[in-house]
């Protein structure tokens, strides 16, 4: 930003400060003005810090050039290193204010995995992905629980839903949405041929009830006896819940809790998250024709990653990153893939027009 823009922002900030002294402002107007006032305050303070560090760096450089004392030179060099690091951090902070991240980035998520093309091998790959994301979530200190799953005879997964709770979960995992392709020799293959199969992943941010309004008349709620592990209690009571959102046809089932009330509450959260994701996807499709250039749009038709087992290679197609450590990634070591995606997300935000 050029200096004249900062002068204009300071003038706008001063104008807002005067407006906020008006006791006659209604609540809604005051809230909007206070939000803008706070944002501008953050921007101006960070810009002030940056200008201050830049001036101190110039002064330290000047003194370094003028002194002939070796001890003083070392002190000035150390001071320069400290100031330059402070400047770098302040510039990153300023970027975060100028190009704010998705407000949902701090949300917990529901992670859905479904077997795609490839029959039993696709289901086995879906089970491997479930293990990978579970291990990754646990390595981050997040709480990971299995909400619902449907298995095959060979131990694969038709579909599964994970609830991953923690700070910043959506910000880390939102790029995982899409088609994941695997290339390997299936366990069912007798002649050693490499097959290609797929699984789809969808990352749904967990939303509060105020974010998505659902009319009670739009819901059909059924209860039934849960299956699978859980002991006698699970199988003898109608604790499992299935909710159908009639207008969209979205169906959500939950049976991981022993309490019908808890299952119903969790199923409602998943439904709200799916409706929010559908709403966001529709808005994105209407607002931009460049969706394919963006990361994390949630379109399941987009191939995001290829897992090549014979060569122990994994390639993420969103950032063109290839690693020869597929074995480690499948155990949950995803940081070397997710970090470049987060950096690309930040760079993409910087290309957008600043909104004041």
Interval 241-276: pLDDT, tens: 999 999 989 999 988 777 888 898 888 888 988 888
Interval 26-63: pLDDT, tens: 988 998 899 889 989 989 999 999 999 999 999 999 99
Measure the CA–CA gap between 97 and 42, rounded to whole angstroms.
Answer: 7
Phi, psi of 197 (to 5 degrees): -135, 170
Can you give the pLDDT at residue 245?
A: 93
Can you give the pLDDT at residue 164?
A: 96
In a domain, 145, yes or no: yes
Can you give the pLDDT at residue 336?
A: 96
Residues of the domain holding 18? 3-98
In a domain, 174, yes or no: yes
Are the CB atoms for 112 and 201 separated by under 8 Å? yes
Tell me the whole-structure pTM to 2 decimals. Answer: 0.63
Per the DSSP assignment, residues forming a β-bridge with 244 are 220, 251
Measure the CA–CA gap between 205 and 174, rounded to whole angstroms.
Answer: 8
What residue spans of the chain are helical by DSSP H?
3-19, 27-66, 70-98, 119-139, 169-173, 231-236, 260-287, 326-329, 335-350
Angle, helices 335-350/70-98, rounded to nearest 10 degrees: 70
Measure the CA–CA gap between 270 and 200, rounded to whole angstroms.
Answer: 17
User: Based on the domain organization, do 180 and 230 belong to the same domain?
Assistant: no
- Tell me the CATH number at 135: 3.30.70.1660
User: Based on the domain organization, do 88 and 115 belong to the same domain?
Assistant: no
User: Based on the domain organization, do 44 and 189 belong to the same domain?
Assistant: no
Please give the order of strands across the beta sheet that includes 303-308.
143-151, 157-165, 109-115, 195-205, 178-184, 303-308, 313-316, 321-323
Measure the CA–CA gap between 198 and 125, rounded to whole angstroms.
Answer: 8
Can you give the pLDDT at residue 209?
A: 54
User: Based on the domain organization, do 191 and 321 belong to the same domain?
Assistant: yes
In a domain, 241, yes or no: yes
User: Based on the domain organization, do 228 and 85 belong to the same domain?
Assistant: no
User: Based on the domain organization, do 45 and 163 belong to the same domain?
Assistant: no
- Alpha carbon 352 to its chain centroid, in Å, reads 19
Radius of gyration of the chain (CA): 26
In a domain, 144, yes or no: yes
Helix (H) or strand (E) holding 297: none
Q: Extract the residue ranges of the chain whose pLDDT is less than 50.
A: 210, 229-234, 287-301
Residue with tokens 């609540």: 27
In a domain, 104, yes or no: no
The SS3 assignment for 170 reads helix
User: Based on the domain organization, do 204 and 311 belong to the same domain?
Assistant: yes
Q: How many domains does the chain contain in total?
A: 3
Domain boundary among 72, 98, 124: 98
In a domain, 300, yes or no: no
- Tell me the CATH number at 29: 1.20.58
- Tell me the CATH number at 253: 3.30.160.20
User: Based on the domain organization, do 153 and 193 belong to the same domain?
Assistant: yes
- Alpha carbon 289 to its chain centroid, in Å, reads 22
User: Based on the domain organization, do 239 and 147 belong to the same domain?
Assistant: no
């Amino acid at each position: 930003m050029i200096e004249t823009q900062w002068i204009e922002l300071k003038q706008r900030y001063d104008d807002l400060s005067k407006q906020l002294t008006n006791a006659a402002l209604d609540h809604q107007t005051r809230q909007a003005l206070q939000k803008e006032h706070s944002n501008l305050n953050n921007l101006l303070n960070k810009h002030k810090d940056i200008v201050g560090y830049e001036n101190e760096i110039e002064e330290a450089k000047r003194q370094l050039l003028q002194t002939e004392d070796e001890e003083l030179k070392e002190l000035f060099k150390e001071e320069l290193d400290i100031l330059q690091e402070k400047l770098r951090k302040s510039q990153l902070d300023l970027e975060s204010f100028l190009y704010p991240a998705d407000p949902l980035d701090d949300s917990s998520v529901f992670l859905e995995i479904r077997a795609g093309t490839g029959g039993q091998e696709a289901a086995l790959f879906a089970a491997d992905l479930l293990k990978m994301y579970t291990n990754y979530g646990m390595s981050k200190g997040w709480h990971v629980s299995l909400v619902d799953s449907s298995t095959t005879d060979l131990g694969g997964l038709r579909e599964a839903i994970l609830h991953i709770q923690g700070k910043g979960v959506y910000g880390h995992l939102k790029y995982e949405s899409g088609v994941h392709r695997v290339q390997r020799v299936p366990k069912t293959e007798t002649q050693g041929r490499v097959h290609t199969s797929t699984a789809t992943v969808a990352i749904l941010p967990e939303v509060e009830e105020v974010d998505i309004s659902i009319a009670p008349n739009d819901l059909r709620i059924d209860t039934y006896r849960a299956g699978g592990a859980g002991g006698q209690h699970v199988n003898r009571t109608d604790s499992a819940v299935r909710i159908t959102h009639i207008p969209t046809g979205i169906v959500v089932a939950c049976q991981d809790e022993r309490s019908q009330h808890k299952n119903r509450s969790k199923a409602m959260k998943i439904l709200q998250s799916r409706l929010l994701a559908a709403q966001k996807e529709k808005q994105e499709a209407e607002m931009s024709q460049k969706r394919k250039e963006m990361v994390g749009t949630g379109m399941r038709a987009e191939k995001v990653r290829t897992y090549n087992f014979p060569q122990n290679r994994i390639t993420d197609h969103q950032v063109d990153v290839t690693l020869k450590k597929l074995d480690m990634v499948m155990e949950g070591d995803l940081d070397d893939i997710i970090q470049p995606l987060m950096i690309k997300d930040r760079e993409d935000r910087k290309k957008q027009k600043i909104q004041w």
